[in-house]
């Protein structure tokens, strides 16, 4: 079930809800189930692993090049063709991001972020993952009150690698905060409704 729907933010804002929360309830109750497997929705390459950081907790970021997606997506019917203007006003004061998180090479990619997993993913940036592959289990790590999978979808520059990312708290390094800013509010990575994307698959 959808525990919290996609609620797109104004460009440059960190609120209200930039992904969709998916949960399964125990039959006849309002208690969410923990430990169910998390499967990869689209084949791709690991672009980042977040280890117990606020707000995502344990999370996995997977990149899929646009040219490997369905033709309707490539024609701009689902995905925007380019990023936002870099002059967008951000709601956060952003430290410098890791240059690797800014992407390299030509083209754009689709990025899917799977967050609040029970354990830290065991994969490394660059690992190839198949569609349907199990990458973890639903949990409540990070800023999650109940077990669920938070799924975010964004289009952005190809070849990005995020060593980590975190919202501003006492455990976050300046680089983690810079990466979070780049991902969430810079306009370089444009948020998309994950269910709209995945619902348009043939």
The pLDDT tens digits of the residues spanning 35-82 come to: 999 999 999 999 999 999 999 999 999 999 988 887 766 665 566 655
Write the burial class of residue 26 (CB in 10 Å: 0-12 exposed, 13-18 middle, 19+ buried).
Answer: exposed
The pLDDT tens digits of the residues spanning 15-24 come to: 888 999 999 8
Residues 191 and 82 sit within 8 Å (Cβ to Cβ) = no
User: In whole angstroms, what is the distance from residue 136 CA to residue 60 CA?
Assistant: 9
* pLDDT tens per residue across all 202 residues of the chain: 888 899 988 877 888 889 999 998 888 777 788 999 999 999 999 999 999 999 999 999 999 998 888 776 666 556 665 555 545 566 678 899 999 999 987 888 999 999 999 999 999 999 999 999 999 999 999 999 899 999 999 999 999 999 999 998 888 999 999 999 999 988 889 888 998 877 755 5
Specify the DSSP element, H or E, that contains 198. Answer: helix 194-199
How many CB atoms neighbour CB 37 within 10 A?
10
User: In whole angstroms, what is the distance from residue 180 CA to residue 103 CA?
Assistant: 14
Sign of the alpha-carbon dihedral angle for 100, 132, 21, 117: negative
Q: What domains can you pick out in the chain, each with its CATH number?
A: 16-81+91-199 (2.70.70.10)
Write the burial class of residue 65 (CB in 10 Å: 0-12 exposed, 13-18 middle, 19+ buried).
Answer: middle
Q: How far from chain centre, in Å, is Cα 46?
A: 11
């Amino acid at each position: 079930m959808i525990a919290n729907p996609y609620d797109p933010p104004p460009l440059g804002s960190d609120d209200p809800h930039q992904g969709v929360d998916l949960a399964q309830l125990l039959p006849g109750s309002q208690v969410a189930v923990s430990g169910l497997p998390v499967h990869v929705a689209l084949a791709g390459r690991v672009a980042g692993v977040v280890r117990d950081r606020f707000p995502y907790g344990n999370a996995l970021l997977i990149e899929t090049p646009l040219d490997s997606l369905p033709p309707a997506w490539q024609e701009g019917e689902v995905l925007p063709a380019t990023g936002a203007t870099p002059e967008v006003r951000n709601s956060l004061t952003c430290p410098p991001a890791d240059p690797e998180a800014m992407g390299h090479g030509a083209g754009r990619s689709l990025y899917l972020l799977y967050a609040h997993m029970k354990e830290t993913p065991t994969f490394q940036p660059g690992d190839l993952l198949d569609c349907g592959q199990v990458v973890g289990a639903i949990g409540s790590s990070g800023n999650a009150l109940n077990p669920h999978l938070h799924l975010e979808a964004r289009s952005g520059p190809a070849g990005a690698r995020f060593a980590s990312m975190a919202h501003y708290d006492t455990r976050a390094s300046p680089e983690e905060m810079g990466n979070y800013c780049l991902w969430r509010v810079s306009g370089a990575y444009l948020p998309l409704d994950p269910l709209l994307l995945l619902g348009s698959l043939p």
